Amino acid sequence: IPFDDARLVDSLLVRGIKVFTVKPAGWTSLLVSLLPFIVLIGFYFLIMNRMTNQNSKAFSFGKSKARLHEASKSKITFKDVAGVDEAKEELQEIVEYLKDPNRFQRLGGRIPRGVLLVGRPGTGKTLLAKAVSGEAGVPFFSISGSDFVEMFV
């Protein structure tokens, strides 16, 4: 019975029915009604804290695992690469562009967005990439293909 309905209580008393009422404690009913919101807000802050924490592995799927190899420390050049003459010639053009972009831009040339090196393991793809980095004097970022799959799938 709602405790604030005075007409109902009066109607019951007139008919001779004994009525006992107990007011609920204010803080318990408030706690019961607010508990789901408190749990949701707590869960939200927990998730946000984990996402911003650098040491968290649970939500690190969007973070890059690339390793930086400084160009100044790497002394690998095209002289160190043997056996892939066609690929080496193509990559030397990119190195020339990186060294002097104005020469190519005057002719309407644009730098490629990337280079896809394809081949079996051990054929020198990484060595070619490090040679481009060493010749052009730019940093080399190393990342494995499985890291991309983890990031985008």
pTM of this structure: 0.50
- What is residue 24's predicted lDDT score, i.e. its pLDDT? 64
The answer to whether 1 touches 21, Cβ cutoff 8 Å, is yes
Strands (DSSP E) found in 28-138: 67-69
Q: Which two tokens mark 45? A: 């802050």
pLDDT (tens digit per residue) in 108-141: 888 788 888 888 988 888 899 888 888 888 888 7
Q: Return averaged pLDDT per consecutive 10 residues of the chain, 153 residues in all.
A: 71 85 72 87 86 58 58 75 88 88 86 86 88 84 69 54
- What is residue 152's predicted lDDT score, i.e. its pLDDT? 55
Residue (of 136, 133, 142) closest to 74 by Cα position: 133
Q: Which two tokens mark 84? A: 């892939």
